[in-house]
Structure 1
Amino acid sequence: MWVERHGPGWRIREQVGGRKVTIESGYPNKTAAKAAVARMSTDRARGEYIDPKAGQILLGVWIDAWWPSYASTLKPTTQRTEGSRIRNHILRLLGHIPLGELDTLTIQRFVWQLVAGEKHPTEPGRWLRRPVAPKTARNVHAILHKLLDAAVAQRLIRVNPAGSTGLPKVRRQEMRFLTTPEIERLLAACPDHWRPLVLLLVATGLRYGEATALRVGRVDVLAGRLEVVEAMHDGIGGVPIFTDPKSERSRRTVTFPPVVGHALAPLLVDRQHDDLLFTDLDGKRPVTRNFRQRVWPRILAEAGLGRVRLHDLRHTHVAHLISAGRPLTAISRRMGHASISVTSDVYGHLLTEVDEGILTAVAGMLPAPRGGIVGGVGTEQGGDRLISPDPTSR
């Protein structure tokens, strides 16, 4: 590298592939240019050199280069969701900005633009870009952080400008637990075609995607058990995607009571081993998003239950097991959680009721203290005792 005068200032030049290339320009004097050359030489010796021209690459161009190899490591469903976040948010708002111009303030503004949305300047009530939920904003920021980390690894930029962004807080959605009368109303409101699916979700706590992916050969109505080996998700254009379950422990055998077997039995008649147990109304296609988006809300309205997510049926199942005093380890295995800590983190707040029931049961199995308050002074009349009022009498 060398320095030379360029117009009113100085620039740094280098020979690359037989051609003279300008590395940086605009230095006010020769001393400043030489100091920059010294810094660059030191960075190269340390393996920390960043080509100044790399920062001129547009974020959108970098995404085009980075995304294919990264996407190949993802599950199909994750490819779809993360690809959507990049297209709809990152490329739309930041794709035109050079990597070197992305700083912490720019990223911070981007996140709050997502949360605030953008209203039409002349038409009140109309959105040019609708606001997103805080959790969505955090998810978009996460993929942005990841692709900028890759740019740092490729020495296109020195630091990740998304590393210290303030993110909006996410309010945890309240879980809805249906009571037994509410479950009865829900099932009564279900059309005949959909009642077996809803009944199975309530009675087993399966994830919705696990239930819709069930094959006929994986269900034994006589033994009252089924095998979870895959999950179904909505793909692009409504084409379903079948994947492995959420975690290794999600591959499991789940039992169900005879009433569920009675409801499922007609669905097995004249069906092949690999046929899907649940289908759309035509009896052929897999269950489509139409069930969640249109049929399910109508069922809830008919039952008068207000807002209940399909996943709340899973929460309901766990809540009833916990209230019945079933061990958390057994519940965790039945739910297919990655570990018992997941079960405890999600449903730990329900254990207080169970603990109170345990204390009641323990108190009932022990004799009441005689002759005074336990630990106090009193007269014993014989019989079993918890604590002796007078240690010298033993």
Structure 2
Amino acid sequence: MASIVERPKADGTITYQVRWRDGGGRTGKVETENFDTHEAADHFKDLVNAHKQQWPHGWVRGQGFVEEKAIPGDLPLTAWAYRYVKRLTGVEKRTKEDYERDVRLHVSRLVHTTASGLVVPATVCNVTADDVQDWVALQADGVRDAEDPETWITPEADPKSIRNRHGLLFCIFQAAVDATPPLRAKNPCSKTSLPRVDDEVEEEMCFLEQDEFARIRAEIKDPDAVDLVDWLVSTGMRWGEATALQRRDLRLGSEKPTVTVSRAWKKAPKGSESTHYLGPPKTKKARRTLRLAPTQVELVRKRIAGLREQDFVFQTVLGNHWRHANFYNRKWQPAVRAAMDKGLPKRPRIHDLRHTHVAWLIAKKVPLAKIQSRLGHESISTTVDRYGHLLEGLDDEISEVVEAMLVVPEQPGLRVVREA
């Protein structure tokens, strides 16, 4: 693994030398490169580690990368990326901070490989589709320490994280395509082959049968907590939506009682006094109205007795709104452990109550389009991608319907003759 050594000079200044063994082996030749600043040395050290303890392709010792001829109006990719994030509107501050972190840690690792094989820093104009594909592969494979294979220099990323980062990169380049005048003609991310995430769906999600949910519910001794888990599994609401419900969101007096999802708990920006605050739902489609069943009406009616319009529907025994960490550690996790000790074969998360709700609806043949609306998914493709595999349980019934459609009914006076 490359390291940085400070080298004081006679005039009192300091240079920074990056040292590593060629190929990473203990007997490899010691290679060095000198820099005037620690920042430049640290960046080069990351390049050496990413290239498995070898000189980065295209790097000339003492000179750096041999850059291609500059394109008018071009600028470093990271500079454009930070500018793009800074100018986003309608995005929460915490989300912008997450985007800036992704630019700093991941987008900055994207480089451009020239036709001659030289590797140069990425700019808005020089990045190609192959460069983006190499960037994706680097994240998927990760980089191990050659001297200690059990240690990751850069851990391999999961498919979902790679897709999220690629989505940000796509938007960054699309902004360059849409600029006036355009900085480039095409988006290099448009045809990237990304790792599949469907193989992880069953591992990430946990679907409870009704008796399994009942076993966990029976281990929760706090009636207020029981009401909340009943609401989560029967509505499919996200935790942040359910715990943000207020008295004014309920319409129980009509023939068709409803609840409206109009706010949710959000993570506060770093440095804020509070960790969360009330904000709009996750997406426009997440702002939705759900029809309530009689049992649900009975559940919330008893909870809102004496509440003011802006009081939370689901509160602790002390009258405070539920916090996820407290509920998970003091109510949910102990109940799951107790149920597992008695034979429950699963370890569900709180969010799995939302997945369980969907599984129950699909088992009752509720169309995915209806489920999309109920969950507040922005696109039907999201619903299909996450829960489409559950439809396999209906294959036998579909086969029976198809078979019935293909049977030619006999009519009076007519006889169907099939040729051999």
For residues 272 and 168 of structure 1, the distance between their equivalents in structure 2, rounded to whole angstroms, comes to: 49
CA gap 1:143/1:357 in 2 versus in 1, 3 angstroms:
closer
Given the alignment of the two structures, is residue 151 of structure 1 paired with residue 176 of structure 2, yes or no? yes
- Could you state the TM-score of these two structures normalised by the residue count of structure 2? 0.60
CA contact (8 A) 2:244 2:264 kept: yes
Distance 1:359 1:141 in 2: 40
Q: CA RMSD in A?
A: 4.2
How far has the Cα of 1:273 moved from its partner? Answer: 1.6
Distance in 2 separating the partners of 1:280 and 1:346: 32
SS at match of 2:266: strand
- Cα distance change, pair 76–272 in 1 and its aligned pair in 2 (3 A): farther
The residue number in structure 2 matching 1:300 is: 336
Retained in 2: the 8 A contact 1:234–1:289? no
1:114 to partner: Cα distance: 1.6
Q: 1:72 to 1:160 in 2, by over 3 A?
A: same
Unaligned runs of 5+ in 2: 1-68, 113-119, 402-406, 416-420
SS at match of 1:54: coil
Amino acid corresponding to residue 61 of structure 1 in structure 2 = A
Q: 1:145 to 1:248 in 2, by over 3 A?
A: closer
Instruction: Measure, in 1, the Cα distance between the counterparts of 2:185 and 2:374.
Output: 48
Q: Would you say the 8 A contact 1:235–1:241 is kept in 2? A: no
Find the residue that maps to 1:178 and give its secondary structure: coil
Does the 8 A contact of 1:233 with 1:240 survive in 2?
yes
Q: Aligned runs of 1:205-284 on 2, under 5 Å?
A: 205-219=236-250, 225-237=258-270, 238-244=275-281, 246-248=283-285, 250-258=287-295, 260-261=296-297, 263-264=299-300, 267-268=303-304, 270-279=306-315, 283-284=319-320
Letter in 2 for 1:63: A
Deviation at 1:200, TM superposition (A): 0.4
Which letter maps to 2:314? F
For the residue of structure 2 that corresponds to 1:391, the secondary structure is coil
Quote how far apart the aligned CAs of 1:115 are: 1.8
CA 1:105–1:195 in structure 2 vs 1: closer, same or farther (change >3 Å)? Answer: same
Alignment partners' CA distance in 2, 1:97 and 1:286:
48
For residues 280-308 of structure 1, the C-alpha deviation after alignment (integer angstroms, 9 at most, x for no partner) is 78643552455458864444333224243
Contact 1:279/1:287 (CA < 8 Å) preserved in 2? no
Aligned-partner Cα distance in 2 for 1:164–1:360 = 40
Q: Which amino acid aligns with 1:82?
A: Y
Query: Given residue 320 of structure 2, which amino acid in structure 1 is its aligned partner?
Result: K
What residue is the counterpart of 1:37 in the other structure? none
Q: Displacement, 1:187?
A: 0.9
The corresponding residue for 1:391 is 414
Report the equivalent of 2:155. Answer: 130
**Cα distance change on mapping 1:344 and 1:234 into 2, 3 Å:** same
* More divergent stretch after superposition (169-178 vs 288-297): 288-297
- In structure 2, the CA distance between the partners of 1:127 and 1:190, relative to structure 1 (3 Å rule), is farther
Distance 1:327 1:146 in 2: 32
What is the DSSP-based 3-state SS (H/G/I as helix, E as strand, rest coil) of the residue aligned with 1:240?
strand
Q: Does 1:97 align with 2:97?
A: no
- The 3-state SS of whatever aligns with 1:253 is strand
**How far did 1:204 drift?**
1.8
Q: Verify: 1:323 aligned to 2:341, yes or no.
A: no
Task: Please tell me whether the aligned partners of residues 337 and 343 of structure 1 are also in contact (alpha carbons under 8 angstroms).
Answer: yes
Question: How far apart, CA to CA, are the structure 2 residues paired with 1:282 and 1:83?
Answer: 39
Shift in alpha-carbon separation, 1:325–1:242, aligned structure 2, 3 A: same
> Offset of 1:357 from its aligned partner?
6.5
Q: CA deviation at 1:167?
A: 2.2
Secondary structure in 2 aligned to 1:194?
A: helix
Deviations 1:27-85 (A, max 9, x none): xxxxxxxxxxxxxxxxxxxxxxx972533x3222222332221x214355754543443
1:45 — aligned with what? Answer: none
1:310-389 equivalences in 2 (<5 Å): 310-325=350-365, 331=371, 333-337=373-377, 347=387, 350=390, 387-388=410-411
Aligned length: 319
Q: 1: distance between equivalents of 2:127 and 2:227?
A: 53
What is the alpha-carbon distance in structure 2 between the residues aligned to residue 58 and residue 120 of structure 1?
A: 29
CA distance, structure 2, for counterparts of residue 350 and residue 60 of structure 1? 42
Q: Report the Cα distance in structure 2 between the residues aligned to 1:204 and 1:274, rounded to whole angstroms.
A: 21
1:271 is displaced (CA, Å) by 3.6
Question: Taking structure 1 as the reference length, what is the TM-score of the superposition?
Answer: 0.64
Q: CA deviation at 1:232?
A: 2.6
Q: Distance in 1 between matches of 2:153 and 2:330?
A: 26
1:72 aligns with 2:89: yes
Residue ranges of structure 1 left out of the alignment (5+ in a row)? 1-49, 362-373, 376-385
Instruction: Quote how far apart the aligned CAs of 1:352 are.
Output: 6.4
Q: Is the 8 A contact 1:328 1:340 kept in 2?
A: yes
